[in-house]
């Protein structure tokens, strides 16, 4: 990604977005269950879901 000129911050955000989306899918859209899978507090994950405009379904 460095060779393509992608900044670290952008790559990190994209990874986090995909990682959270995957956990939400595994949890059937449940933020609480996804937070448990990721080892995050539910409120933290809810904030990130809103920040990345992810669907909970």
Average model confidence (pLDDT) across the chain: 94
Rounded-to-integer distance, Cα 25 and Cα 27, Å: 5
Which parts of the chain are beta strand (E)?
Answer: none
Rounded-to-integer distance, Cα 30 and Cα 25, Å: 8
Residue 1 located in a structural domain: no
Domain that includes residue 17, residue range: 8-51
pLDDT at 4 over 90: no
pLDDT value of position 2 = 63
- pTM across the whole model: 0.87
Q: In the chain, how many domains are there?
A: 1
The packing angle between helices 8-26 and 42-51, to 10°, is 120
Buried b (16+ CB within 10 A) or exposed e, 31-53: beebbeebebeeeebbebbeeee
Residue 15 located in a structural domain: yes
For the stretch 11-30, pLDDT in tens is 999 999 999 999 999 999 99
């Amino acid at each position: 990604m460095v060779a393509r000129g992608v900044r670290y911050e952008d790559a990190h955000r994209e990874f986090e977005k995909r990682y959270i989306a995957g956990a939400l899918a595994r949890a059937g859209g449940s933020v609480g269950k996804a937070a448990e899978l990721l080892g995050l507090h539910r409120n933290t994950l809810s904030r990130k879901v809103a920040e990345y405009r992810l669907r909970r379904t």
